[in-house]
């Protein structure tokens, strides 16, 4: 199945980042035989954002680089990273095939213009081949709206971004346009595709692009009777940006161009060392100061009201556009500490709410549906859920092959997988001298010692990357919104130096005279509210098929651990 996630703005980009991380960890979307997996499905990431240097995109590309390396190693690649000129598809039996080259669309790059537009006036007043529409524009816009630079976003003002996104959407079917040249719609029309659109409803880019792109896809589906489904995730306020370092001018002074310019030069000089200004030259600092003074920035005071207005619009007009529509927000939004105007200085930490949004994408890509199409469901979390921090147990649970996929179970299963493949196989010893035969590997490696060394190195590298991704996703010092207990529980399973303690807990219980009483372990392995009772002898019995790749064996082990994982008493 081909899945395409379309993300808008920085918030949507971070949801795509969370989605790729979840796939790397092992979250499934389908059944392959009796194994829950995501392998054999395919994912593309389309990104719509005028901010070409966004810090969120840099982070996403780094996550995709790590994902590509994991898949390369799980596909029996060597320990070296895949060559830069290799195809961007990251495929293996471990996880979903992901196109690691983001289709990055600049909505300001429009047909008929020699270069991307930088203001709304360029689009509406000076469109190539059309009459000058500037006199008419003044009935709808002030000069400051028409002239503000929009190459960093639309500053929570959908009335500025909507005409830009509408022109962008109209260009998608033009194969000669900057956007249309990136998409082969003729091929997509012959393919079953699940589209999933994600962005904020309270900002600028997301609030503009979500409805426009959703309606565009729905029209194309209806026009050509296509086998497409369209889902979406609306991000409600879940973090609060701080105000800029100085306040905007009173409304009655913002129309005085001379006064605004004088104040902009003064503010640009006064705040030249502020990190949001320091990356610019003098002219750019003045432009940024002018932008803030005239009210073009993300105002935390307006988020709730803007969200309410957007939801009314979706309820009354746009809901029929989507086959599935999810709503994610946070009762007590997290407060960001650093103000940024976009670009590389805007690197907000991954938020637990963005991970929850990525779970809704997994639910959708798994083919699940919520509601009947004529109704909707509201879930507000368990009674004991904290309004400020989340546990993995608070994340939505979705179904794959009739089995509930719980985030704590997945994390525990992957943590145990990391331990088993790294420390319960005698990688450094000649297979001929192994005392045990995990998965029937002893005979294989006796015949091919070179493969044993290749597999040892590849599993170590791949599992270290997976471990890093797990830790990165839940560490309080690198993310926002998570309970610190998650990282503490994870460290008990996979932190460097704990492997000996885990091995002891997995040993079989003994009775008098040292005889084995049963195959129960000394102690269950626990993570949050779930546990698994497992011994090394259980692990040794999980045998891969005769011809297998590393990802096949890793997924087999993971699935067996997952099947044994249950609620802790």
Q: For residue 314, how many other CB atoms are within 10 A of its CB?
A: 19
Per-residue DSSP letters for 262-282? HHHHHHHHHTTTSHHHHTS-H
What are the residues whose beta carbons fall under 8 Å from the beta carbon of 26, sequence distance 6 or more? 94, 95, 410, 413, 414, 417, 466, 555, 558
Q: Residue 394's pLDDT is what?
A: 93
Eight-class DSSP state of 482: B
Q: Residue 379's pLDDT is what?
A: 56
The predicted-structure confidence for 229-262, as pLDDT tens digits, reads as follows 999 999 988 888 888 889 999 988 998 889 999 9
| 330, 453 contact by CB (below 8 A) | no
Q: Residue 371's pLDDT is what?
A: 65
Three-state secondary-structure class, residue 192: coil
Long-range contacts of 283-292 (CB under 8 A, 24+ apart): 286/261, 287/149, 288/341, 289/246, 289/263, 289/264, 289/265, 290/260, 290/261, 290/264, 291/148, 291/149, 291/155, 291/341, 292/244, 292/246, 292/248, 292/267
Q: Residue 373's pLDDT is what?
A: 58
Looking at the chain, how many residues does it have? 569
What global pTM score does this model have? Answer: 0.91
Q: Exposure pattern of 36-47 as b/e (b: 16+ CB <10 Å)?
A: bbbbebbbbbbb
Measured distance CA(285)–CA(264) in Å, rounded = 8
Domains of the chain: 2-116+151-244+300-403 (3.40.50.1440), 249-296 (no CATH), 407-567 (no CATH)
Three-state secondary-structure class, residue 237: coil
Per-residue pLDDT of the chain (569 residues; tens, 9 = 90+): 899 999 998 899 999 999 999 999 999 999 999 999 999 999 999 999 888 778 889 999 999 999 999 999 999 888 777 776 678 999 999 999 999 999 999 999 998 888 888 888 888 766 556 666 667 777 788 788 888 888 777 777 777 888 888 889 889 888 889 888 888 888 898 999 999 999 988 777 888 888 889 999 999 999 999 999 999 999 988 888 888 889 999 988 998 889 999 999 999 999 999 888 888 889 989 988 998 898 888 777 777 777 777 777 777 777 788 999 899 988 888 888 777 766 565 678 899 999 999 999 999 999 998 866 555 555 555 556 666 789 999 999 999 999 999 999 999 999 999 999 999 999 999 999 999 999 999 999 999 999 999 999 999 999 999 999 999 999 999 999 999 999 999 999 999 999 999 999 999 887 656 555 567 899 999 999 999 999 999 999 999 998 999 999 999 999 999 999 999 87
Measured distance CA(156)–CA(564) in Å, rounded = 48
Q: Select from 58, 4, 10, 54 the least CA-distant residue to 205.
A: 10
Q: Residue 293's pLDDT is what?
A: 92
């Amino acid at each position: 199945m081909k899945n395409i996630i379309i993300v808008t703005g920085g918030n949507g980009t971070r949801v795509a980042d969370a989605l790729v991380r979840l796939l790397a960890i092992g979250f499934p979307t389908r059944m392959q035989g009796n194994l829950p997996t995501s392998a054999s499905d395919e994912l593309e990431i389309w990104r719509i954002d005028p901010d070409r240097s966004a810090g969120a995109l840099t982070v996403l590309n780094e996550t995709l680089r790590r994902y590509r390396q994991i898949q390369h190693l799980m596909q029996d690649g060597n320990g070296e990273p895949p060559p830069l000129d290799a195809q961007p598809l990251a495929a293996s039996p471990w996880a979903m095939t992901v196109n690691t080259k983001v289709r990055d669309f600049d909505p300001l790059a429009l047909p008929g213009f020699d270069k991307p537009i930088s203001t709304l006036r360029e689009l509406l007043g000076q469109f190539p081949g059309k009459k000058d529409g500037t006199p008419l524009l003044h009935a709808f816009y002030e000069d400051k709206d028409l002239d503000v630079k929009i190459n960093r976003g639309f500053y929570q003002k959908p009335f500025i971004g909507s005409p830009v996104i509408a022109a962008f959407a109209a260009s998608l079917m033009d194969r000669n346009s900057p956007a249309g040249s990136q998409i082969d719609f003729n091929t997509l029309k012959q393919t079953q595709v699940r589209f999933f659109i994600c962005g904020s409803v309270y900002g600028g880019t997301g609030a503009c692009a979500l409805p426009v792109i959703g309606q565009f896809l729905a029209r194309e589906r209806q026009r050509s009777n296509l086998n497409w489904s369209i889902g979406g995730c609306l991000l409600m306020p879940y973090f609060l940006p701080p105000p800029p370092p100085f306040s905007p001018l009173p409304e009655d002074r913002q129309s005085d161009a001379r006064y605004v310019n004088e104040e902009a030069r003064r503010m640009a000089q006064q705040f030249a060392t502020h990190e949001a200004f320091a990356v610019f030259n003098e002219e750019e600092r003045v432009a940024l100061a002018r932008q803030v003074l005239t009210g073009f920035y993300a105002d935390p005071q307006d988020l709730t009201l803007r969200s309410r207005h957007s939801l009314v619009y979706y309820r009354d007009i746009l809901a029929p556009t989507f086959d599935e529509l999810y709503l994610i927000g946070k009762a007590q939004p997290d407060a960001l500490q650093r103000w940024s105007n976009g670009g590389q200085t805007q690197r907000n930490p991954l938020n637990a709410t963005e991970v929850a949004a990525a779970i809704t994408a997994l639910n959708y890509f798994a083919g699940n549906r919520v509601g009947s199409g004529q109704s909707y469901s509201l879930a507000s979390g368990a009674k004991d859920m904290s309004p400020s921090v989340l546990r993995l147990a608070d994340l939505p649970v979705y179904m794959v092959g009739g089995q509930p996929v719980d985030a704590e179970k997945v994390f525990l299963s992957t943590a145990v997988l990391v331990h088993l493949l790294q420390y319960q196989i005698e990688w450094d010893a000649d297979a001929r001298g192994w005392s045990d035969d995990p998965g029937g590997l002893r005979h294989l490696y006796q015949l091919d010692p070179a493969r044993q060394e290749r597999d040892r190195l590849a599993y170590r590298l791949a599992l270290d990357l997976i471990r890093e991704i797990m830790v990165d996703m839940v560490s309080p010092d690198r993310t926002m919104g998570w309970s610190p207990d998650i990282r503490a529980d994870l460290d008990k399973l996979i932190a460097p130096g704990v492997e000996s303690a885990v091995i002891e807990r997995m040993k079989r219980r003994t009775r008098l005279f040292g005889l084995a009483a049963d195959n129960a372990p000394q102690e269950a392995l626990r993570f949050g509210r779930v546990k698994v009772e497992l011994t090394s002898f259980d692990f040794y019995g999980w045998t891969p098929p005769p011809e297998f790749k590393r990802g096949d064996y890793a997924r087999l082990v993971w699935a067996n651990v997952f099947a044994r994982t249950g609620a802790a008493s």
